[in-house]
Each structure stands twice: as structure tokens, then as C-alpha cells.
Chain A
Amino acid sequence: MSIPLPLFIALPLASAFLLPLCGKKFKGFASLAATVVIAVLLVMSILSFGRFDVYIVGRWTIPLGINLVLDGLSALMLATISTVSFTAMLFSNRYMEQYTSKNKYLSLFLLMVTGMNGVVLSGDIFNLFVFLEIASIASYALVGFGCEHEELEAAFKYMTLGTVASMFVLFGVGVVYGNTGSLNMAVISRYVAENGINTGLAFALALFTTGFGLKAALVPFHAWLPDAHPSAPAPISAMLSGVLIKALGIYSLSRVIFNVLGISVQISWVLIALGVLSMVIGVFLAVGQWDFKRLLAYHSISQMGYVILGIGMAALILSNGGNPAWASLALLGGLFHLMNHAVFKSLLFLTSGSVEMSTGTRQLKELGGLAERLPVTRSTCTIASAAIAGVPPFNGFWSKLILVIAAVQAGLYGLAAVTVLVSIVTLISFLKVQRYVFLGELPENLKSTAEHRGLMACAMILLAILCVFMGALVIYEPFRVVVLDNAVNALSDGFAYAGKVLSAQILTGQ
């Protein structure tokens, strides 16, 4: 069954504009409709695995028109986005009752999904920018959704730095257009493959790296994240840390570097440096935090470092002419870690939301002994902590293992050691979370705390089950080929992307 690609964008976009019409009376209906839309997107994205599809908008062929491209990497991203947004939506149904104007929330949520789906499907670089802005602006509003002063401050900071990032990207798009005469990624890719990269394009590459690096919150472009992610409502924190930084940042960055402008030794080392800096600085900042969500936010920086490190190592191996097997292993590890991080980090944010909703605080020092009061939250949070710390058999173990194997095999022993070290510090900081939130003495004022069950618990259990069984994506070969290997090949093929997209256009006969 072939699903028309524009549906991924049109469906959430249309519902985002229709839902506010429901008004206060039909609030329940609006939530239900939004959940159904996201569920449909989830099913569609799972069905799109293993497909390669180019959609020509309005029959204007490349290079004249706009195209949407679905390849292995886009499919992986789509599935990640839909999974996290589905569980976040389930969680929101009860959680967002604490706030007013839920319809606006739903509408912004769907807009953000629209933007992310658009980014990962877009086949031309200007539309990528447009969708990136849609998702970003929706997320600025969502960060400030509570309208408390710290939330507004965080949203303002986020918006300022986010706008700077968008401007860099737009500037880069302009420079690329001036140098190659096209905005279509396949055409640019073909141009670079034939003519090599010139100083103008290198300038654009630096701009893209900064812009997308800001969106991905890589050190030193990360400063907005620790304010923005904790300030948002918990399901939105889950969305931001879980998928937004990946779709807007990591995906765009790796797509542009691998498939459009091409890899070089310099950019590989830049990626590795960004990765290592993010991993180390992020994790050491995280371990010192006493605010539950802020701690999680710093871990997002650190974990994004893993992903970028994997991608950077692959780029280095490929551009040095090393063994491509280790390059694809590094990519596999990086991309798998991206999926895993989406799952366990959104789960962690949801559990933090559950704790905050039940106790009214997220300061670790004011909590304690909640294991008996919040059993579901405790179990799921423990599973997610084990997953992010890389305890077998949870999903994080497999991706980190693969990353370290790739680093050792490629002879990058120092990077392997850093990866393991950061993993140990991660473990320590989640032991801290367990110790202060769920173990120890229950404070007097929390004796009557009760857990919110229902859909919130469902969302958390769903993600916890994924944490336990997602290792199957690596272990079970057919899954790996369809989900991960396709995505890895999409990146490691490099400029072959152009040929594939352009020939697919001819095949569709348009």
C-alpha cells in the first residue's frame, strides 16, 4: 500500500487549524481527534518502512518544482516522531487538564508535528527551512505555555537563539543557491559531486553546522536547552528532547553533510569535536543538577553528543578511506541511539511530569521514598534510567555497545574511552535520581501522594515496553535491515542520493 507523502504534512496541518474551532464545549472531542490523527500518523509511518518514494508536488518536475523524498532515514525519523508524539499525546490528555485552553495546546502540538514531518520529508533545502520554522515557532509557544515568569523567560531565550539559528540556516540556503543555482537537494548534491566544494559552499556548510547545531543543542550552541526543556509542560519536554532536537538538528545536519554538501576530513573532525564536547560537558552539568527536569535536559545534550559522535566517526572513516564496514557500524550505532534516546528520554520526561503532578515539586531534595506511592512511575522510570545508562538488556545498551565497538575497530581508542566514561557518569546521575526521588525516606508532606493512573500510566508503560524490547531492532535481522540498515545506507551512500532521487522521478513518469 502506498501512502501519498503529503498526507504526513497535510493531516496534522489541517487538524491543527480545525481543532481550535471545537471550542470549550467539545474539548473532549478535540483531544480525541488529535489523538486519532497522531495514531493514524503512527500507523502510516510504520507502513512506510522499507519504501523509497519521491513525490513531485503539483507535477512540477525537479529542478522546477518541490519534491518530497521518503528514504530509509526519513522513514526512521517519521516513525520516531510519531511514536513519541503518540505517547506524549496520550499523556497530555490528563496532564494538560492542569492548564487552560487545551485546544490551543493541541493545535500547537500538531503544528510542531507538521513541521517535523515536513523537515524529514522535504526534498529541497528551502522547504526544509520553512518546515523548520513552523516546528520551531510552535515550540517557542509551547515552551512558554504555562505563562509563568520563568517559562516566559525560557521561551524568550529559546526564541532568540532559535531565531538566530534559523537566520543562519536561511543565510546558508541563500549562499548555496547563489553558488549552485538550485534549491533542490538532489540537484545541489549532483552539482557538488561534479564540481567539488568551493569556498562559498564551505561558508554555507559552516552556517548550516551552526544553525542546525543550535537546533540540536550541541555544545557550544546548547545554552537555550537547559532553560527551555524543563519549562515546557512535561509531554512537550518529552517532544522537545525526544524528537524536536533530532528532527530539526541532527537529521538536517547529517542530511546536508552526507547527502548534499559531502563529507570531508575537516567536517568529520568538527562533528566529532561537537559530539565529544556535548557528551562530556552535558553529562557533567547534568550530574550536578537538583532539578529533575533540568537534569534530564542536560542529559539530552550529552546523549545528542553520542549520536553526533557516531555520525562524525562514520564520516571520518569514510573520508579517510577506511573500512566502510566500521563506518556503517558507527552510523548504525548513532542512528539507533537516536531512536533509543527518543524513547527513553521522552519516558523520563513523562515520569518527571507524573512525579511533579503528584507531588507539586521537581526538586530532588524535596522528594524521596516515592517507590511505594508511585509504583508505575517508579518502575518505568527505573527502566528508562537503566536504558539511558546502558544497562543490558535495555535498548540504550545495544546502541552504546555498537558505538564503542565501531570506535575501537576504527582505532579511535580515545573516543571509545570517552564514550564509556560518559556512560558511567550518566549511570551515576541516574542513580542519583533513583536515590533522591524513589528511595530513602518519604517526607512527611508526601505521605498521601497518589499516582495518576489511566492514560498517563498507559503512555509510560508503552514506552517502557519499547525500552525493553527495542533491542530487537538490532538483534532480529529482518527488523534491522528494514529499519536501521536502510537509514544507514541512505547516509553512507553520500552523493548517490542525487542519482536515486532524480531517477525515481523519471520512473514515476512525471
Chain B
Amino acid sequence: MSNELLPIIVFAPIVLGFITLFLPRALRYFTAPLTLLVTALVFLGAVGIFQDKTLSYSVPIFNIQEISFDLLLRNTSLSSFMILFAAGFTSLIAIYSVKSSMDNKAANIFYGAIMLTAGGSIGVLLADHLLVLLFFWEIVTVALYLMITTGQEKSNFAATKTFAMLGASDGALLLGILFTYKICGTFQMSHIAITENEPLAIAAFLLMAVAALTKAGAFPLHTWLPTSGQYSNAAVMAILPASIDKLLGIYLLVVLVLPQKGLFAMVAWDLRLVLAIIGAATVLIAVMIAMVQHNIKKLFAYHAISQVGYMVLGIATMNPIGLAGGLFHMLNHSIYKSCLFLCGGAVEESTGTAELEQLGGLGKKMPLTFMACFIAAMSISGVLPFNGFASKWLVYQGIIQMGKDTTTTAAILWPLWLVTAMFASALTLASFVKILHSVFLSRMPDALRETKEVSAFKFVPMMILAALCVIFGILYTLPLKIFIYPALGFKGDLQVLGFWDSSFATLMLMIGLCVGAVIIAAVSIGKKARKVPTWTCGEIQPNDSMIIPGTAFYKTVSSLEGLKQLYSWQEKEVFDPYTQAGKSGSGLTNMLKWLHNGILPIYMNWVTIGLLVLLFILCEIW
């Protein structure tokens, strides 16, 4: 592999994508195949990058006052596997959405943004210069914004909120980067290792961590995710917030805190408590909110937040098992969550709605979607033997290990983290039982009788992702050995208490399933079930009135004393930093507007006062 591959794989999609944004709509028959081609080629390139971890590329761009801006790209084992998956997700989503986006009014903006995402995300992962990283980081943000704007009504609001919050976190990243430069005098990431625990270093670390956590969608800066989940296309959610944004956010966090190698390894070690609190709060709060949602995509979006908590918790342990668990969970989450969003998108496309009340009984009409969604739902809930279980298991192990190894506050509180994580996992399962019930299993409303399965463009990507869920679950040592251990620099195997034997468990499960199938067959063969309409007191009940919607499942939780108030505040966006900052900002604006009343003499007075102040200062007459 030649080193020139790195700049080409980054800049070619960005330039093509940028041009595509401005092309007239008539050219979409040309840009759609172009998008497929570009993402496929990027994926091939990513495979090449994964195989050769020594690639690096550097070219000086310019130099002002000793500050050098160089294009430094380098491949590491941490980036290489993330690049592989980022490119993989991009091409899968491109396949999924390329046909249905043809009818979109802003088709070319969608295609252009997909290409921007492909190049931008790989750029972030390859960058070895902090400002180069910032550059690509922002490109990914813009791509997300543009993609959301192509959605239906109200998507403009979601897009605005998303860009505003991510843009603010990008500002924090910029400040953090410059503080880092001030401390160590270089932007080159492989040369930075901050050991002094001075205030500026802590500020720099926190600012950069804010950017990473916002991108990944951790509490309390997660609120852009549910909004965009509700109003944008499922494909958009699957590509960025569900997968690539997680990859990038967690990548940055790991780059910052990785023991011994991270930019802020020492600083972060002392701030483990903060990370653990954020992780635990994210896991629990987001899943509590998710349980009471009525919109599939919004519910998925809250789970996309909740799962980030596991990754952050795993990283906060800062021991090998926990880190491996955090990274592995990031990978698994990207797989099952994009699968879930794609399923949600498929359901929405076939039925025209994503509201749980209006859905039901789709398991028979859309068996492939049901299967993919079932596998992904089991994975996210951490059910054996799917991939989500393997990584959550590692995270739990990491937390227990942390309690053993050290005696800091974060370590002493390990039972708290563990219990929160496990409890949230149970709630996740509960919430997905609700989804599976209300969408696929319960009685079918009359309006959905004509529903059809989606086209191959859609179900093939879903099936691939679902298959990955199974493979990474049963053969969980494989991805750990190929991707995760090298990425963290571990040699050989990790010695973990209670590594479970997946093959045996899987075998037992399969046997159990077979036995169950045999029993069902034995009971039902030869017997005819009689189907009659439901009636009460002589009246035949219409079908729709007999549906038991899943939306009522957890009403008791939201009406519990104590929680009730919190839920209603949450509904009113009391905890949404975007809304709250907006309110205080508009307060300030209104005060200033009141001062600008358009009366000339008052304006003259300001000038006079200004002059007087200047005279006092400049003529030193105080």
C-alpha cells in the first residue's frame, strides 16, 4: 500500500461531495451511482488501510510565526479498525438509501453529505495534527446538518438544534486544542503527552472531552439526538448519530484518556470519577426516558444515548478489560443500532408512520425486517448469545476489576456503577419488549393490511448488520483479537475471571429452541385452530378496538410519585441545555432590544457617555 492512499481516501470523497452539493437536481441519476461507487471504493481503500498499519503521510501546508499547520495523517491500529467500520457503515447506508432518496427534493445534498461523511470521518480517524482533526470533525458535523435538512417537515428545526449543539461543542474542541498547544507547543498528537496536572491542562481536557461526549451523545449534552431522531430520515440516523458519531466521539475520548498513551492520560486518571458519573447517569436516565417514548425513531435515539453510557463507563475504569469492553461495545452498538434504525426506517416507509399506537402485527407482513429487528433488539438488551452481551459483560468485568485495583473514590463506588449498568440493561430489554410487541407482534390495525416488505436495497443492509450481531456475539473472541486488542496495544489474551464459553451456551440455546419448535409442531399438527370474531354481550367488536398497544406498558413507571415530576419536567425540556441556553440568550436579547428604542437623543447620550469614559481613561484624569 502506498502512503498516498491516505490523502486520496480522505480528500477525494470530500471534494466530490462538496461539488455534488451544488449540482442541480436533474443530475441525480448521475450522482446516485457516483455515491455508491465512491463509498464502495472508500470501503476498499479502508480494507487496504486496515491491512497496513504503518501508513503515514505528511506534507507541510503553511507556517505562521513558528506555528506549523501540516497535513499529518497516520494510521494506527486504533484508527484502522474504526476506519474499516466507518467506511463499511457508509457504504451500507448508501445502498440502503440511494434509491429512496431519488425522490427527495434535495437528493444531491443528501448524496453529497454521504460522501462528505465518508471522507470526513476517515479524516478524523487518520489525523495526527489536532487542527486537522478539528477540520474534519467539523466537516462531519456539517454533513450531518445537511443530511437532516433533507428530511420532511420540521426537520429544519431538528437540523438547527443539532448543528447548534454540535457546533458549540466544536467551539469547545477548538479552545481545548489551543490550550493544549499553549501547554506543549505542538499540535502533533503523537508528540503530546501532558503530565502536569495544572488548571490549564484540566480545562483543556474537559473542553475536548465535552466535544467528544457531545458527538457521542452523552448526558447532559445529548438532547440533539432525540430531536433529530424524531424528525429526520432513519437512514440519516443510522449513518451518523447511531454509528459514525459514536465511533468518532469514543475515538476522541480514548485518544485523550488511554492510560500511558493518551494525550491527557495523567489528567484523566484523576478525573475518572467525572467520567464514571457521566457514564452511569447517561445509561440510566436515557433508558428511563426511552421506556416511555411513543415514536420508534425517538425511542431508538434515546437508546443510542443510553448505550453511550456503557462505553463511557468502560473507558472510565481505565483498566484493560474495561477499555476493551468500552471499545467493543462501541463497535457492537454501531452495528445493532444502525440495524435498528434501518428497521425503523423500513417500517416507516412501508406503513407511513413511526408512531407505536398506529402499528402492530407487522411480523407476518415484514418477516425479514422483523428478524433483523429482533436480533438487533436482543443484542442491545444484552441477551445471550448476541454481541451486546459480550461487550456489556466485559464492561461489568472492568468495573469489578476497577474496584479491586485502586482505592480512589471512583473505584470505591464500583458497586454503584455496576448496579446502575445492570439495572439499565434490564430496562433496555423491557423497552425493546415494548417495541417488538407493538410493532411486530400485537394485533394488526386494519389500516396496515396492505403493508409489504421493503425492497432488497433495504433488507440486504439490515440482514448484513444482523448477521454481524450474531457473529460478533457467538465468536466474540474473534473481533476482540482482530480489532480491539491490537487497537489498545494488548498482546495476547486478557486474563479475565468468568470469560464465558459462548460455544457451549449457544449450543444449549439452539437445543432449547429446537426442543421448543418440536413441541409446538407436535401440539399444532393435525389440529385446526378455529378463528372467530371477538364479541362481547352479543356485539361483535371491531378489530382495532381489540389492540393492546405497547405504549401503555410502562405507564406505571412514569406515574410513580417522585418520578412523575421529573418526567413532566423532562417533557417540558427543563433539562435541555439547548432550550435553557436559548431562553437565557433571548432574555439578554430582549433586554438589549429594549435599550435600542430608536430614539435619537438617547443614542446621542450613549455617544456622549462613551466619549466621557474615553477621555477619563486616555487623558488620565481620574
Residue numbers of A with Cβ under 8 A of B are 157, 160-161, 164, 168, 199, 202-203, 205-207, 209-210, 213-214, 220-221, 223-224, 226-227, 266-267, 269-270, 281, 284-285, 287-288, 325-326, 328-329, 332, 371-372, 375, 379, 386, 389, 391-393, 401-402, 404-405, 408-409, 413, 416-417, 420-421, 423-425, 427-428, 431-432, 434-435, 439-441, 474-477, 480
Once bound together, how far apart are the Cα atoms of A160 and B599, in whole Å?
12
- Chain B residues within an 8 Å CB radius of A480: 62, 64
Once bound together, how far apart are the Cα atoms of A409 and B183, in whole Å?
10
Contact A408/B589 with A328-B65, A329-B64, A424-B171 known, Cβ cut-off 8 Å: no
Judged by a CB distance under 8 angstroms, whether B178 is at the interface is: yes
Of the residues B61, B153, B182, contact of A441 by C-beta under 8 Å = B153
Contact A206/B586 with A157-B603, A160-B600, A392-B139 known, Cβ cut-off 8 Å: no
Tell me the dominant secondary structure on chain A's binding face: helix
CB distance from A136 to the nearest CB of B (A): 16
Once bound together, how far apart are the Cα atoms of A135 and B19, in whole Å?
40
- Chain A residues within an 8 Å CB radius of B351: none
Residue numbers of B with Cβ under 8 A of A are 21-22, 24, 61-67, 69, 105-106, 131, 134-135, 138-139, 142, 149, 153, 155-157, 159-160, 163-164, 167-168, 171-172, 174-175, 178-179, 181-182, 200, 585-586, 588-590, 592-593, 596, 598, 600, 603-604, 606-607, 609-611, 614-615, 617-620
- Chain A residues within an 8 Å CB radius of B149: 434, 439
Once bound together, how far apart are the Cα atoms of A157 and B153, in whole Å?
42
Contacts A/B (CB < 8 Å), 9 sampled: A202-B618, A210-B611, A284-B585, A326-B65, A328-B65, A375-B24, A405-B67, A424-B167, A439-B149
- Chain A residues within an 8 Å CB radius of B135: 392-393
- Chain A residues within an 8 Å CB radius of B590: 288
User: Is A435 in contact with B606, judged by CB distance below 8 angstroms?
Assistant: no
Contact A440/B62 with A391-B142, A420-B175, A424-B168 known, Cβ cut-off 8 Å: no
User: Is B593 in contact with A288, judged by CB distance below 8 angstroms?
Assistant: yes
- Chain A residues within an 8 Å CB radius of B178: 404-405, 408, 416
Once bound together, how far apart are the Cα atoms of A423 and B61, in whole Å?
25
CB distance from B174 to the nearest CB of A (A): 6
- Chain B residues within an 8 Å CB radius of A270: 614, 617-618
CB distance from B509 to the nearest CB of A (A): 49
Instruction: Select from chain A the residue with minimum beta-carbon distance to B136.
Output: A392
- Chain B residues within an 8 Å CB radius of A441: 153
Instruction: Select from chain A the residue with minimum beta-carbon distance to B175.
Output: A420
CB distance from B360 to the nearest CB of A (A): 31
User: Is A206 in contact with B619, judged by CB distance below 8 angstroms?
Assistant: yes
Of the residues B63, B105, B182, B604, contact of A408 by C-beta under 8 Å = B182
Contact A157/B600 with A287-B585, A416-B178, A420-B174 known, Cβ cut-off 8 Å: yes
Once bound together, how far apart are the Cα atoms of A435 and B617, in whole Å?
44
With most chain A CB atoms within 10 A of its CB, the pick from B64, B69, B135, B174 is B64
- Chain B residues within an 8 Å CB radius of A431: 159-160, 163-164
Contact A213/B610 with A205-B618, A267-B618, A435-B157 known, Cβ cut-off 8 Å: yes
User: Is A210 in contact with B64, judged by CB distance below 8 angstroms?
Assistant: no
- Chain A residues within an 8 Å CB radius of B167: 389, 424, 427-428
Of the residues A203, A284, A435, contact of B588 by C-beta under 8 Å = A284
- Chain A residues within an 8 Å CB radius of B598: 227
User: Is B156 in contact with A435, judged by CB distance below 8 angstroms?
Assistant: yes
Once bound together, how far apart are the Cα atoms of A420 and B164, in whole Å?
13
Once bound together, how far apart are the Cα atoms of A404 and B592, in whole Å?
26
User: Is B175 in contact with A214, judged by CB distance below 8 angstroms?
Assistant: no
With most chain A CB atoms within 10 A of its CB, the pick from B63, B168, B619 is B619
User: Is A281 in contact with B592, judged by CB distance below 8 angstroms?
Assistant: yes
Once bound together, how far apart are the Cα atoms of A424 and B210, in whole Å?
15
Once bound together, how far apart are the Cα atoms of A210 and B441, in whole Å?
74
CB distance from A271 to the nearest CB of B (A): 11
User: Is B156 in contact with A440, judged by CB distance below 8 angstroms?
Assistant: yes
User: Is B596 in contact with A285, judged by CB distance below 8 angstroms?
Assistant: yes
Of the residues B175, B593, B618, contact of A404 by C-beta under 8 Å = B175
Contact A223/B606 with A284-B592, A423-B171 known, Cβ cut-off 8 Å: yes
